[in-house]
Structure 1
Amino acid sequence: MAAKLGGSGGGKYHVEANAEINVTPFVDIMLVLLIIFMVASAVATPGVEVKLPIAVAAQAPSPPKPMFISIQTDGRVFIGDGESSYETLGADLTEQVGRRDPTKERIYIRADEQTRYGDFMQAMNSLQDSGFYSVALVGEDKVTGP
């Protein structure tokens, strides 16, 4: 029989030290804590019935009616339901907006798919010349399915 006489040689029951960190238990603990926090926060919402006092503040004004500009295939331009022209588009729109700030007013442009690009750009230039810079283009949503 042989006997081991000191030293650090590897034996039958010797296990090497592992310098790598096993993150799996750490992730498991974090997920459990996250679930506990989510459940506890949902339960912690107040469920006490309270009769609130009536507010005496003035009611906030409702947002203004959106302004739509429509351009047809033949080049005619409309503000809402009223017809306008490219030369007077900015002035007509300013008149309809009233005292509101034109730089903060959002204008929606609807144009026929066959509208000439030049007509569209003429309307955009007229709007920008009058101070209307917030312009959105309106398109039809694509319907999928039967």
Structure 2
Amino acid sequence: MAVSLDSGGSGRGRARWKPKAEINVTPFVDVMLVLLIVFMITAPLLTVGVPVNLPETEARNLPAGEEPLTVTVNADGLIYLQETEIPLTELVPRLRAIAGTGFDARIYIRADDGAAYGDVARVMARINAAGFSNLGLVTDPVQQ
């Protein structure tokens, strides 16, 4: 709270303290600038995923929405749910645990360009056989 010195007009030369009804916003601005810098630095680090070489296609981008469930198959045939490596046998139980009771959850499959077709087909068949039917393949747009 800011304070001002006011003589009060008494003429005795003695100063009286009188509070001002103003808000000091300098500390607030300092904190907001620090938070802005912190979020600018950390935001790009939050979008890190499993590095794969996606095939390029002429498909349009899907509209952005909530955080999708992502299953990734890399070139070595390893399977990742989000960023966690899992064996194929644990894929369906973990998907059910994440999706809850909703089998209409959108699941994106990211397959490396060098991944074997059989590995990708096995992952898709396992997910579909578990009751999830809303599958999507993720690709990169063609660079022109």
TM-score (norm 2): 0.52
The answer as to 2:124 corresponding to 1:131 is: no
Percent of residue pairs bearing the same amino acid type: 28
Unaligned runs of 5+ in 2: 1-64
Partner residue, 2:89 = 87
Partner residue, 1:58 = none
By percentage of residues, which structure has more strand?
2
1:1-146 matches, within 5 Å, as: 64-99=66-101, 101-102=102-103, 104-144=104-144
- In the TM superposition, structure 1's runs of 4+ consecutive aligned residues that sit over 2 Å from their partners are none
Report the structure number with the largest CA radius of gyration: 1
* Cα distance in 1, alignment partners of residues 125 and 143 from structure 2: 32
User: Which structure has the higher relative contact order (CA within 8 Å, separation 6+)?
Assistant: 2
**Paired residues, number:** 80
Q: Tell me the SS of whatever aligns to 1:75.
A: coil
TM-score (norm 1): 0.52
* Cα distance in 1, alignment partners of residues 100 and 105 from structure 2: 11
Unaligned runs of 5+ in 1: 1-62
